[in-house]
Amino acid sequence: MPAIATPSQPAQSTSATGSATTTALVTDSRPLVRAGLALMLGEGDRLAALAEAGFETAVETIERDQPDVLVIGLRDDDPQTFRVVAAAKAVHEELRVMVVADSVTVIDLREAVIAGVDSFLLSTSTAEELRDGALRTAEGERIVSPTIAMQLAGTWRNEPPDVSASALTPREIEVLQLLAEGLTNQQVGSRLGLSARTIKTHVQNLLVKLDVPDRTGAVARAFRLGLIR
């Protein structure tokens, strides 16, 4: 696996004549964000071709045009993003993918890896960082924003945590109990009067505290530890 890098020195993606050779496709479910990303990426002269498409036509466009890199936006609570990534990788195996997210959770990062995302930047990145990230991603590097890299490092544990009922908040116990009943984040949020995004954060915290990879593991371990019934 290539080493994870952070945005730094600009990548050189030029042919012998000095012309850019990297082709990119920008997609997002929000037309305004999509156009903004395309504008920022197209400000330089290192991307040979830059196109944009909505989620509904992105996979078809990728299959037809075979771009080097897909730059895709991720908004909060939008599982469609990773479905598009997985479908795009299925029709173009050499495609490299860079996600530009409004924010990110550990769950987002796990879903991104499963879908085949190569690089992960935040929407607070500068235009130069976005262009540099797209080019380096196309060349095979993994680029991760420093904030996300720190979050990743914080979730890597060498030893299992000492988990007891006191390690979890009362709200986390409530969420665990509802997860055990098979409820989705949206359903748990409706039951507790909270947003799905808030529930997603609670689930993320539970995965870290219980040292498990997914919600099924969280429920199973909670039962074993007697945290829920």
CATH at 78:
3.40.50.2300
* Residue after which a domain boundary falls, among 96, 121, 154: 154
Residue 11 lies in a domain: yes
Report pLDDT for 224.
74
Residue 159 lies in a domain: no
Residue 229 lies in a domain: no
Owning domain of residue 140 = 4-154
Q: Two tokens at 98?
A: 């860079």
If you ran DSSP here, which 8-state letter would residue 225 be given? T
- Alpha carbon distances (Å) from 175 to 162, 182, 213: 20, 11, 17
Partners of residue 74 on adjacent β-strands: 101
Report pLDDT for 110.
73
Residue 73 lies in a domain: yes
- Alpha carbon distances (Å) from 79 to 67, 83, 100, 180, 181: 23, 7, 14, 22, 22
Report pLDDT for 54.
93
If you ran DSSP here, which 8-state letter would residue 211 be given? T
Query: Could you read off the pLDDT tens digit of each residue along the chain, which spans 229 residues?
Result: 444 565 654 444 444 434 457 899 999 999 999 999 999 988 777 776 789 999 999 999 999 999 999 999 998 767 789 889 999 999 999 999 999 998 877 777 777 877 889 999 999 999 999 999 999 999 999 998 887 776 665 544 444 445 555 688 999 999 999 988 888 889 999 999 999 889 999 998 888 888 877 787 788 778 777 788 7
Q: Which CATH number goes with the domain that contains 212?
A: 1.10.10.10
Report pLDDT for 94.
94
Q: Domain count for the chain, please give it.
A: 2
* Residue after which a domain boundary falls, among 133, 154, 175: 154
Together in a domain, 84 and 145: yes
Report pLDDT for 98.
96
Report pLDDT for 138.
93
Q: If DSSP states are collapsed to H, E and C, what string results for 26-82? A: EECCCHHHHHHHHHHHCCCCCEEEEEEECHHHHHHHHHHHCCCEEEEEECCCCCHHH
* Residue after which a domain boundary falls, among 154, 178, 207: 154
Measured distance CA(115)–CA(85) in Å, rounded: 6
Residue 65 lies in a domain: yes
Per DSSP bridges, beta strands 4-5 and 142-143 are parallel
Together in a domain, 82 and 32: yes
Residue 139 lies in a domain: yes
93 contact partners, CB below 8 Å, separation of at least 6: none
What count of other Cβ atoms lies within 10 Å of the Cβ of residue 196?
16
If you ran DSSP here, which 8-state letter would residue 126 be given? -
